[in-house]
Structure 1
Amino acid sequence: NIFNGVNNGFFVEAGAVDGEFLSNTLDLEIHQNWTGLLVEADGDMFHHLKKRGRHAWSCHCCLSTSNYPHREVLVKYSSNKEGELGKAMYARAHGSLASAQDNTPLNILGTSADMSKVI
């Protein structure tokens, strides 16, 4: 209800998962004509996100807390063989691997997606 009646806005969703599960922005996109940037670091989840056909830019990266891009080792979780996303997220602590991931500042993502009017 926070953005009720606000149309044609712009969002940034960090941790977009698959673009639908627990999404904070999907309703804004569908019902209020918003667009934005979906950020997801997990490669498996990003693969699912790209299949959703969201009307937003997407980035397979992490948002950086610094002013420059860098790589960082993050925890990479194995996918759930049962295919239920909720169970997969719950079970992530079991069987994790380390992987290097790009961390990109929001201002650089905004420039590359030509979002300079918004950011």
Structure 2
Amino acid sequence: MRSGLVYFCAGLALVSPAVAQPAADDWVARKCAMYQAAWSRALAGAGADTVSAAFIAGNNDFIAGGCVERASICPQSPVELDIANALSIALINAGAASTFLPFACPHPEPGAGGWTGPGL
């Protein structure tokens, strides 16, 4: 058993980052495809007229960029929050980390009276 572990570790040492990189790129592409499919279903289910143009544009821009650019899409209505929650659950259930998701809302300034968003 110990010799198997030694051979395994030695094999890992021979794998260069350039060899390992395509798997990571493939995973990002798969997550993005899953996000795009989930976004399309969620938007169709809610109706484009029930969400803001900024929310739609933010999600479309995230997808168009290959889901690799940092995004800060902040849901501003109960419908947008429901969509963001559904997308988050779908992607996390599919194995994506929560850091993959493009949702973030600004923190209120100290003394500004607290958060006025939809309950994030």
User: Normalization by structure 2: what TM-score?
Assistant: 0.29
Please identify which structure carries the higher helix content: 2
Higher relative contact order (CA 8 A, sep 6+): 2
Of structures 1 and 2, the larger Rg is shown by 2
Please identify which structure carries the higher strand content: 1
